[in-house]
Structure 1
């Protein structure tokens, strides 16, 4: 059972659902894999990674949205995270994504981000979205561009330092 009041979203191959207690282990493993997680807020210790997991729960409670767990329909395995993130100090709501080790290169993040963006515009009524990407994270930048987002500017992110802000197409372009 979800730990937060998150809807369940579906796409062709994925179920996007709120976090459950057993998601803590794959999230902690991802966050402690610094080469993979540094652009997402990687952690040096298990306790810091656990705090990030609970931070996402609190984000859902305060904002009414956060990171969904990406679950594969065919296996039920958690494959990553994707959702809307807008903590204190963020310039505006962001679509963020990660895939866990072993799930890269299968368009999972792309499919999840398309579904989350539709949810943000249709259900949450958001009118603008960004993806904030650490410079040099070329895979994420290419995915943002594949989603139709365009580089807008570089800014100083309160948590991550320098970030490149990519602007997603608005609801009229996506839902029209």
Structure 2
């Protein structure tokens, strides 16, 4: 089944696409790895499944959500996009990049594409990223993208720092 309401984006090295059921095993592996510690990893299998479905619902309801990221050879590398769940202060540019994709600039490339798409289709308003204070790699990515630390926030039982990105062109 295709999710035609989710646009496909292409960058020099990546395809940002709609989520698929075949993404689920990699999502489970990420959830069960130490890499997911900053986003509440170790959730029960059913919560990961619900997260996959909730993302599709977010796309249907608001016109944005997480893209699944593939390289041009079709390897699933993670998820990046804009989310705004109940309890979020504003729409957030967020990312979950899997181990095999780390350190190659894929997160930056995909996040730039997702941000530009959001600003072109949804709103020129600046986005935020909510980042655990100990997640130095995510903070470095936000800063590389031009975001500035703005203040502290408490979300779903976790402390985080709000990084504000610049807005899109009106």
Q: Residues 3 and 39 from structure 1, CA distance in 2 versus in 1: closer, same or farther, beyond 3 angstroms?
A: farther
Give the match's secondary structure for 1:171: coil
Q: Residues 133 and 160 from structure 1, CA distance in 2 versus in 1: closer, same or farther, beyond 3 angstroms?
A: farther
Mapped to 2, the partners of 1:39 and 1:32 lie a distance apart of 12
Mapped to 2, the partners of 1:44 and 1:122 lie a distance apart of 34
- Corresponding position of 2:136: 138
Structure 1 residue runs of 4 or more that deviate by more than 4 Å after TM superposition? none
Unaligned runs of 5+ in 2: none
Give the match's secondary structure for 2:29: helix
- Corresponding position of 1:152: 150
- Corresponding position of 2:42: 43
Mapped to 1, the partners of 2:127 and 2:40 lie a distance apart of 20
Q: In the alignment, is residue 65 of structure 1 matched against residue 39 of structure 2?
A: no
Q: Write out per-residue CA displacement over residues 82-138 of structure 1, whole angstroms, 9 at most, x where no aligned residue.
A: 000101110100100111122110011000000011001111124120111011100
- Corresponding position of 1:16: 16
RMSD between aligned residues: 1.6
Give the match's secondary structure for 1:131: strand
For normalisation by structure 2, the TM-score amounts to: 0.93
Q: Write out per-residue CA displacement over residues 28-70 of structure 1, whole angstroms, 9 at most, x where no aligned residue.
A: 211121x211222323322222222222122222222110001
- Corresponding position of 1:161: 158
Matches within 5 A, 1:111-130: 111-130=109-128
Mapped to 1, the partners of 2:124 and 2:6 lie a distance apart of 16
Q: Residues 56 and 161 from structure 1, CA distance in 2 versus in 1: closer, same or farther, beyond 3 angstroms?
A: same
Mapped to 1, the partners of 2:37 and 2:102 lie a distance apart of 16
> What's the CA shift for 1:4?
6.3
Q: 1:95 aligns with which of 77, 86, 93?
A: 93
Corresponding residue pairs, total = 170
